[in-house]
Amino acid sequence: MSRKYVILDISEVDSVDFTQVLQTSKESLRYTTDNTKFLLKYNGTQPSFLSGKTEYTHSEILAILNNVDGDWYVTPTE
């Protein structure tokens, strides 16, 4: 079963069905550095509440999250 990722706008956070994704609550989500978007992950088929949203593979989402010029990048701490 392959893991998939979706990026959503913060205005959609209240529509998340946490029974269908791997996160358990709003507090367990990963947000952009400016808190305007968040990341969801799930295994297998895209949950119905995410219908029409762009899916990313693990390698695609890593490229987005690790882009030092992007909205997700957090400088690693030692």
CA atoms within 13 A on the CB side of 1: 7
Q: How far apart are CA 30 and CA 26, in angstroms?
A: 9
pLDDT less than 50: residues of the chain: none
CA 13 to chain centre: 11
Tell me the sheet residues that pair with 40: 6
Q: Quick one: tokens of 2?
A: 């392959």
Q: How high is the pLDDT of residue 30? A: 94
Q: How high is the pLDDT of residue 13? A: 96
Whether the full predicted model's pTM is greater than 0.75, yes or no, is yes
Q: Is 44 helix (H, G, I), strand (E, B) or coil?
A: coil
